[in-house]
Every structure is written in C-alpha cells, then in structure tokens.
Amino acid sequence: MAEKREIGLFELYDKDPETADKLVFGRVANPDRRGFLRGAGLTTMCAMVGGAIPFAANLPAGFIPVALADTAKIQGKDGLTLLNDRPLNAETPPHLLDDAITPTARHFIRNNGIPPEDVDPETWTLTIDGLVDKPMKLTIADLRDQFEVVKEALTLECGGNGRSFFDPPAKGNQWTLGAVGCSNWTGVRLADVLKAAGVKDGAVYTAHVGADTHLSGDESKLPISRGVPIEKAMNPHNLIAFEQNDAPIHPMNGAPLRLVVPGWPGSCSHKWLTRVWLRDQVHDGPKMTGTSYRVPNRPVEPGEKVDKKDFVIINAMPVKSLITSPVTGHETSNGKVAVRGHAWAGDDKVERVDLSVDFGATWIGAELEDPVNPYAWQTFRAEIDLPQKGYYEVWARATSDKGVAQPHAIAWNPKGYLNNSMHRIAVRSV
C-alpha cells in the first residue's frame, strides 16, 4: 500500500471507515457499512467523481479515487488537497495562501503517525529533562503562569515541499507548492523554558517527543522524534505554542501543544508535544538517521545513487517565493496583471523579489514588505504591463540578505527535499 501512497492514492477507509467518513465528508456517510464501497458509499463516490466507475468492483479495499483529492474535506480546514490519509497529509493551493497571516483553516497538515485522541489541554503535561539541572514537568497552565507569553507570525514549511516536480521522481508525499504557511502562534519561548531547567555544559542537541503513535499500532515505537542543535534551540523565536491565530491549535496542527521552530524543516516543530530532553550527542530518534530529512553533502546528478554516509542533516530552509495571485490561466483584457505573493529565507531575511514575464531575459523589482517579526514571510506585489496580446509566464525570484537567489532549476537529491526553484504561473493578455 505504501507504493500507492507515493503516487497519490489513498487508504482512507482501510482501518476505521466511520472515522474516515467524518474526516473526509464531515459526517458519517453510512454508519451501517464497513467500507466505503458498500451501500450508499459507491453512489456517493460516483457522484463525487462525476459519473459511473465501470470497474468499481476491482477497486481494492481502502482505496479512494485520486480525483477525490481535490474535493476531500477535513473538518476545520478549507480547500486543502489531500495527499495521504495514513498518515494524514494535506497541502494548500497557492491562491488560498494569499493572506499575510495564514488562517488556521488553510494551514497545511504534515503528520507522521496517528494523532492522539486525548488532547485535553487541562491535563496535558510537558516534561523537560535529560542534561538539565532541574528536570521539569509542566502543565499548559504552568507555561502560561511561569513564563512570558508571546505571539509571533512564524513560517513553517515541510522539507519536502515541491517534491512532485523532481525528475526523476523522489519517493514520499508528492507535495506541489502548498506545504507552507505563516500563522500567528502564541506560546512561550523554548529558550526560556530550557534556561529555567538549567542547560548543562554537555548538552549539544534537543530531542522532541509527541503523543502521536506509530502507524503500526506498536506503542513502543515513535513515528518521529527529531531535534535541533542547542544553539538553534536557544533562538528566542522558537515557541512552545498553545494557540494558533488566537484560538486553540487545530487538532491536525498539533493541539493542544506543539513546538514551532521556524526557518528549519517543519519536522523539527514537533506536534502534540509531551517531552523535550537534552542530549550530549546528535539526536538519533526516528527520522533523524539514514536519509530522512537529509541531503547529499555535494551536488549530485539527477538519479544518482548516493551512499547513506554521504548524507547530511538539513538545517535552515532555502530562500523561496510563492505567487498567490493571480492563478495560472488568468486572462487580462487591459494588458496589466497585478501580482502578489510571499517570500521567505530560512534563518535569513528576504532582501528583494524580482519578477519576469519574458522567460528571465529582464527582471522587474517587486515592492517587498518587511516581515512583521523575524521568521515571518514577506509579502511582495507588483503591477506588470504586458507589451502585447499573447501568452506569458510570470516568474518570481527571491534573493536573501546573504545574496543567495532562487535558482531556475531544481537541485536534485534522492529524497526530494529543498526544492526552491522559481515559482512560475501562466497568464494571457487577450
């Protein structure tokens, strides 16, 4: 079944059809059946794909047509494209990311395991231990009472965002452009909590643990446990967050407590957070070793085989931009096109965004806003005059304050990480 997930097919109803109905349709389609393809389920499926399914009898158990990816509903989310349900992963089309602050309903979902069912904020606890002077066990109320509560707009992006454009293809969730968002997060600084616990001299890395469970159902296994160097952990913009956009965090975004470690792969920002422990070595939890969230230590040829020992851990994300308006297919009758979007640059700031409508022959500087705080994405805009009627591509290229610009081509790697090639949309002047 893993192979099917890699090419965008889903096992939505394999384990728990009733829960899956609630997830996808917002209700139980037929509480008496034991699978989607029984009773009214097949009728509903045909209606959703727009006609009869001639070979429906051959559909394997737990399978849902890929055509439903664009229509599947997740409670509390609006317009997301479902890539996988086991674990649940969904991205946001670029035009739904036009807001300066990403609404909770439009923030992408990246899960690695099965989310916990008991997420009562009143009883939730966080343990801080390992190489600390004073191990701590804190409730969310303790965090609010004992530490300064702050709110920041912070950009989170999956390390595999853009994977679907790799050639040859890379395995994994086939993210296009929408595994990114910039919500307001409220919580306390991770650094403040670690300082209160007392970081010992030998601590070099954090280790993060959540309440989500392994897809196998084996409670002794963690689905993911990543960490960051202690220097990054002490950055004052990392939050232990308990609110998203001034409300409880969405369940699929980590309620009731999560880490937000901006500028680095979203996998560092552990959801359903229950423990942070400090170690005297690079953390070796699940998805910290092998080739997970790692890239080759050198440029490689597309399709090249790379020895595991030659992979290095991804730290800061690269400079990137996203055109959120207009959408591909836009037509203008007056020869003008208003372009908007966002740009971000990992641990750095975006210095400029340039746009081209002549396939990179010339560039037009866009108006670029400052971030509302460090690690927030920056909004850009420009009004472009198209010289004559016809087909145009609008290319966006962001450049960081370190002078690093987005490339035109993808820097290929075996796992499909860090695609920061320029975003392009197509428009017509008619």
Nearest-angstrom CA–CA distance, 264 and 155: 9
- Select the CATH number that applies to the domain covering 125-313 from these four: 3.40.50.11860, 3.90.420.10, 3.40.50.1980, 3.90.1150.10: 3.90.420.10
Give residue-wise pLDDT tens across range 223-268: 999 999 999 999 999 999 999 999 999 999 999 999 999 999 999 9
Give the span between the Cα atoms of 203 and 131, in whole angstroms.
6
Tokens linked to 253: 């975004």
Tokens (6 digits) for 261? 């470690």
Cα gap 211→406, rounded to integer Å: 37
Q: How far is CA 326 from CA 2, 81, 181, 382, 399, in A?
A: 35, 19, 18, 11, 21
**pLDDT value for 20:** 52
- Sign for the CA dihedral angle at 163, 168, 172, 173 comes to positive
Are 208 and 226 in contact, with CB atoms under 8 Å apart? Answer: yes
Give the pLDDT confidence score for residue 1 in this predicted structure.
Answer: 37
Buried b (16+ CB within 10 A) or exposed e, 257-269: bbbbbbbbbbbbb
Question: Which pLDDT value is given to residue 53?
Answer: 72
> Residue 47: its pLDDT value, please?
53
Provide the residue ranges of all domains of the chain, joining segments of one domain with +. 2-73, 125-313, 320-429
Q: Check: CB of residue 339 under 8 Å from CB of residue 353.
A: no
Q: How far is CA 156 from CA 31, 203, 271, 279, in A?
A: 37, 26, 12, 25
Q: Spell out the residues 6+ positions from residue 285 whose beta carbon is closer than 8 angstroms to its own.
A: 207, 208, 209, 222, 224, 225, 226, 227
pTM for this model (two decimals): 0.85
From 396, 385, 401, 312, select the one nearest 355 (Cα to Cα): 396
Number of H helices, E strands in the chain: 6, 23
Between CA 177 and CA 29 the distance in angstroms is: 31
**Contact of 378 with 396, CB cutoff 8 Å:** no
* Strand, coil or helix: 267: helix
> What pLDDT, on a 0 to 100 scale, did the predictor assign at position 64?
53
Q: Give the span between the Cα atoms of 96 and 259, in whole angstroms.
A: 24
Q: Alpha-carbon distance 47 to 154, whole Å?
A: 40
d(CA 195, CA 188): 12
Tokens of 306: 């790379």
In the chain, % helix, strand, coil (3-state, to 5) comes to 15, 30, 50
Q: Please name the residue ranges forming H helices in 32-128.
A: 40-49
| CA–CA gap between residue 182 and residue 262 (Å, rounded) | 10
Q: What is the pLDDT of residue 66?
A: 59
Tokens standing for 199?
A: 């970081």
Fold for the domain defined by 320-429: Immunoglobulin-like (2.60.40)
- Under 8 Å CB-to-CB from 218, ≥6 apart: which residues? none
Token reading at 385 = 């005059």
Beta-strand relationship, 330-332 and 423-429 = parallel
End-to-end Cα, the chain, rounded Å: 47
23, 80 in Cβ contact below 8 A? no
Per-residue pLDDT tens digits for 5-35: 332 334 444 444 455 544 444 444 333 333 3
Token pair belonging to 192: 């403040």
d(CA 188, CA 140): 10
> Which portions of the chain are predicted below pLDDT 50?
1-17, 21-41, 44, 61-63, 71
Alpha helices of 14-166 — where are they, by DSSP H? 17-25, 40-49, 140-146
Per DSSP, helices labelled H in 228-350 are 230-233
